[in-house]
Structure 1
């Protein structure tokens, strides 16, 4: 058995939920005959059941009540938009299997999950046939219908008639979106042709010849083909992974193909671009980038970000292929390739239109996490009529070469975040900085040992973090270096919703000891650790077995770390992080570990600093711009009815684009730059800039002004606090 504590928020990064969001209904007589599980698959199901029943942190038996909960979640994982399975389907299978679902899993009997999956597949095929037949004819894009895209909490359809009306609206709405996206691409092509200087010498004209209906039919064909290609192990994975994630969102089962993928990533070396992906929770037609490998080709471009949706992939000298509806495995297979060859991704952030998509070319390479890591620099920050020299320590993750350490390699022969941080702090101390900002934004976590070593560089002594296991035993990680501090000056820690796990441990300890000011927005809330089990007969599993607690006794789970001073939250309105997952572990407390704070920020001081910071943010062009983007994002709420009419949809998107362009031009005027004359030229500029930045080395790429605004504000608050 191989055990490895997984502290980052990435344990489900490549989870095998291969299921499309779609919309359908048909009779059980048309269900495909399910496969008969092999002996190995049955044993695997029993082993996974034992892990949940006996080893999970919750200490929750896999009993009848838990089986009912797993079954209910299975319906929602297969059909998250609640547009495919009728209520009668759910009622039928609930009546048939709710009482026995748990005992079946314990016995290694997968037949119930397989039968339900085949009903799902029947419904999906009927939808695809319906939609493709509709698209083979002229489609009226001017209707008086409305559609709610986010149906996660909506009731399931009771009749085929109301379900078919939704499919019709969905297909029409998709075609409207495709049509408008193509209009944007044509306008952008025109801007490049009329103003060649925008492309900066790069070939960025798309020149798409297919009609929107042809593109959409191709997408539906791929989705249907993907569904038909699912192998038996993949269906087993869907059943077992659902069972594990009903216990908590970070427990996962990986079938052999996915287990091999996890093994490759844990070894920190593969020929690819260095991203972790999974099907989007709300809309599995889309694949979401969960994280970037430190120093990997994607991270080096500076244009691929966590939370991006992959909507297209192009091989060298080949056209862009629309990959909406592709499985994570299929996308991995086209992204991977020979070292030194290019692959181009088309990506966009959630809750943005396809016209906001970015096209990024990445050169495949051997991905090693050690190739990049801690970055440090000194910036000059205006302060009270003078200038302060501020050290910036950027921590991408709490990385460690586990393989090298296990093999007994010399500590000087491999990379770890604590080694690199010690070197960076030594260099910064020699430059006589006036204060230090530790940037943990979008840091997904990593090694518990490493975050403990790092905290010891900033704190004198005392408990750092408490770990509680599924037996109630508590272990305390303590700084016992006799009061040594590699850095003892002024300190601020910058966090956001993308900061998870080990990042939260670091920020919480700095906050509890009063060692520095914690600034930004509330963190992910991933306060658990998983053990990796490779001793099951097929594939592997990650099981949550431990939970983190602050020295004060409060958990970092679910609540996350709340900053002392709030800054604009760039993820406002986006649904990700622990609090948005289904079945997250709850927040709770244990007994505090005795410790002596090194300092304490008084409540009146924090209130004054917060008030002054808000005033600065309201006048700073970068924060004004980011706040306006948050407001614009709220204009297209998928929980509210949207008009299924191309003119009204175009008008709404035009409004969004006008506001976005106005926000960009306002900050350009405020910073002495020339405004853009149109949306198309702005988008063309972004494409060209992205390609230009991608060609630069990571440490030579200019920092984006909206990112640097956080560093400046954190530094200002740090000095004001003292």
Structure 2
């Protein structure tokens, strides 16, 4: 903060994401297939002096400089080894239990010391065993899919095996491979049926396309699609080089300490620097492998002002299942690495890329096809937005200001070089002045999906709403606490009624903001519990190879409670649209714990009593059960819960087709119930519904952001927040 050479990274993703954040992971079932089986690849990993030095540097940082003050001893070495097994084979389908036992006995006691000495041989040997097992799976899959596969069995399979025991024999392992491949083939067959049915709707009802060509006409068989997926993954596996193996091992070591300490190999480090320039040409999303199913790539956040965000059709949590680059054929990207997907998505400014995405736990027939024009991405291009809405309350009309904060942005590079730059605090001050000029009766501050940003900016912004006092506390690993005070000498730009909306994707700096507003009683916090990212990282660019981030500080509320892990719990709960098992700090491996320190010396501006909050929650729950938008979202949540990859599912296409049809029917009923309640014509059937959604999304993506109407299911949160603020008076 005070040292200009080291900016504290408060974003949930460490970098204020300015483009496609690369996050290569090898913890997938990296088994491929080609027309001919490929031999297992083995390499003689001869670490270079630079690789050995880098390993010693990372080990020393973890041993002496991490927030936890946890020595890199034998116990931590064993934990890192276990984490390495997990990151390579999180679904427990490749390593046999005998592999784990062998390497644990051989290297468990010495793993930490090997890292301290810069010795990478243990990690390389384990990786080669992993590569061998992946090739064995490839050979098996190639032979199995060469024959006709029975899709109507009485067997079952568990897709997510993270909590299952490892296989003890090859026969047991191959039996699972056979069942999983059959299940994947069933899924592809059903997805192809749904796609063809939707395309038939387009042919029979050309008006529904709104003049757009939305027919893909994929002629490949399901087996051909699966074989191509596996072949690409095998090719990726066989191209992994020494630096990438080192990156996997060292990043595993840092992640064993906490989820936000990372090591980046030279290619990755260069990518981070490109992003930090704020001049990346792309679409503006951060992606990572999906935690539940590593074959899928998940969109984590959208860059404010980037083409993806401006399209209005890409959402955090979307899974990317297809990419069509520059007018070429749609590529099935399930099973691709994030780097390979980035290679398809990135391109020259002004060119078009088409993404096929879907929300998790939805059928492939619910996938959306979105066209996006690449552009130069500037993090703060769009920035703070404000508007005024009319809300009826107790028989009178109230004018409510809405302040949308996409991130706590600040262009550090421009500021340091003396160039003109934008910041969230300056834009917020202008927005507040504009809203107050319209005689508003209260303000909704919308922090949904805000990934965080600059600590200085969030402190400045809090000072606009809180008259004076401490804003946030930050503690280092030695226990030293700094208290950040209101920097504006008691100036309070907005003193009126306010409410803050949060959700599970509100992280870091946005959590600091919501926590301070809540602690001071300055306004209600409503929505969902936040991410729980309450730590700060230092960026290290002085390694022999690559770069790293290291967690060295932790944030605390003015009341002494941490925002780490626990997050900020809202005063009034609204429908949560995210899956807590896969989203947020609490879903990560090795998160720092929630704890408390002494309260800062502060005086609350007000306080909502327990009785008041109880009444507000009861009133809101009644409204949410009656509001068509909240009913719709709640119903979608219950439908998603129908699929649980940790439970055994039937390997039978008729059973799976019936299940998919049940999901589709329930989803259609939820949508039609919402449409009827809001005076719209219901859809006749599922495929007509999906075809109409495809066409609407494509049309909406071509509108300018400020011209695009608010989505009713999103606006419901703003309207309910305003009602709660007015009720609280």
TM-score scaled to structure 2, two decimals?
0.97
* CA drift at 1:31: 6.5
Aligned counterparts, 1:6-155, within 5 A: 6-11=9-14, 14-21=22-29, 32-155=42-165
Aligned counterparts, 1:569-608, within 5 A: 569-572=576-579, 574-608=581-615
Aligned-residue RMSD, C-alpha: 1.4
> Is the CA contact (8 Å cut-off) linking 1:573 and 1:630 kept in structure 2?
no
* Separation of aligned partners in 1, 2:179 and 2:287: 30
**Is 1:4 equivalent to 2:7 in the alignment?**
yes
Aligned length: 715
**Is 1:196 equivalent to 2:203 in the alignment?**
no
Q: Name 1:467's counterpart in structure 2.
A: 474
* Separation of aligned partners in 1, 2:121 and 2:315: 40
**Is 1:478 equivalent to 2:472 in the alignment?**
no
DSSP 3-state at the match of 2:642: helix
**Is 1:270 equivalent to 2:280 in the alignment?**
yes
Aligned counterparts, 1:647-686, within 5 A: 647-686=654-693
Q: Name 1:351's counterpart in structure 2.
A: 361
* Separation of aligned partners in 2, 1:461 and 1:158: 63
* Separation of aligned partners in 1, 2:195 and 2:5: 50
Q: Name 1:316's counterpart in structure 2.
A: 326
> Is the CA contact (8 Å cut-off) linking 1:302 and 1:698 kept in structure 2?
yes
* Separation of aligned partners in 1, 2:416 and 2:327: 43
DSSP 3-state at the match of 1:638: coil
* Separation of aligned partners in 1, 2:481 and 2:711: 43
CA offsets, 1:598-652, max 9 Å, x none?
A: 0000110110010010000001100000000000000011111110000000000
DSSP 3-state at the match of 2:220: coil
Q: Name 1:422's counterpart in structure 2.
A: 429
* CA drift at 1:572: 4.1
Q: Segments of 4+ in structure 1 off by > 6 A?
A: none
- Bigger drift between 345-354 and 241-250 goes to 345-354
CA offsets, 1:434-485, max 9 Å, x none?
A: 1100000010000000000000000000010000011211000011433221
**Is 1:288 equivalent to 2:298 in the alignment?**
yes
* CA drift at 1:23: 7.4
* CA drift at 1:239: 0.5
* CA drift at 1:573: 5.3
* Separation of aligned partners in 1, 2:390 and 2:225: 51
Q: Name 2:241's counterpart in structure 1.
A: 231
> Is the CA contact (8 Å cut-off) linking 1:31 and 1:119 kept in structure 2?
no
* Separation of aligned partners in 2, 1:128 and 1:689: 41
Q: Which structure 2 residue ranges, 5 or more long, are not aligned?
A: 16-20, 33-38
CA offsets, 1:285-317, max 9 Å, x none?
A: 221112111111111101111121111110122
* Separation of aligned partners in 1, 2:40 and 2:633: 51
CA offsets, 1:512-566, max 9 Å, x none?
A: 0000010001000000010000000111000000000000000000000000000
* CA drift at 1:332: 1.2
Q: Name 1:631's counterpart in structure 2.
A: 638
DSSP 3-state at the match of 1:399: coil
Q: Name 2:269's counterpart in structure 1.
A: 259
* Separation of aligned partners in 2, 1:268 and 1:275: 13
Q: Which structure 1 residue ranges, 5 or more long, are not aligned?
A: none
CA offsets, 1:476-520, max 9 Å, x none?
A: 001143322111111000000000000100000000000001000
* Separation of aligned partners in 1, 2:77 and 2:581: 31
> Is the CA contact (8 Å cut-off) linking 2:561 and 2:596 kept in structure 1?
yes
Q: Name 1:365's counterpart in structure 2.
A: 375
* Separation of aligned partners in 2, 1:454 and 1:245: 32
Q: Name 1:376's counterpart in structure 2.
A: 386
CA offsets, 1:260-306, max 9 Å, x none?
A: 11112222221111111122223222211121111111111011111
* Separation of aligned partners in 1, 2:554 and 2:127: 33
- Bigger drift between 665-674 and 48-57 goes to 48-57
* Separation of aligned partners in 2, 1:104 and 1:252: 19
* Separation of aligned partners in 2, 1:252 and 1:350: 26
**Is 1:613 equivalent to 2:620 in the alignment?**
yes
* CA drift at 1:387: 1.5
Q: Name 1:385's counterpart in structure 2.
A: 395
